[in-house]
Amino acid sequence: MNTKFKIVLIIIAIAIFALPTIALGGSFTLSLIEGKTPKEAVQIIAGQIDDILSRIQIIETRQTEQERITACNFSDEALQKAQMEGGIIDADLKDIDELITRITYQRDNSPQDQYQMWQSRLEKVQNIKEQYDSAKEKCGQ
Query: Residue 33: its pLDDT value, please?
Result: 60
Instruction: Indicate the DSSP class of residue 114.
Output: G
Residue with more model confidence, 89 or 24: 89
Alpha-carbon gap, residue 83 to 128, rounded angstroms: 10
Q: What is the pTM of this model?
A: 0.53
Contacts of 110 (CB under 8 A, 6+ apart): 118
Return the sign of the alpha-carbon dihedral for residues 15, 20, 21, 23: positive
Q: How confident is the model at residue 75 (pLDDT cuts 50, 70, 90)?
A: confident
Predicted confidence (pLDDT) at residue 63 exceeds the cutoff of 70: yes
Q: 81-107, pLDDT tens digit by residue?
A: 888 888 888 778 788 889 999 999 999
Residues 61-68 have a mean pLDDT of 89
Query: Residue 122: its pLDDT value, please?
Result: 92
The mean pLDDT value of the chain amounts to 81
Helix (H, G, I), strand (E, B) or coil at 94: coil
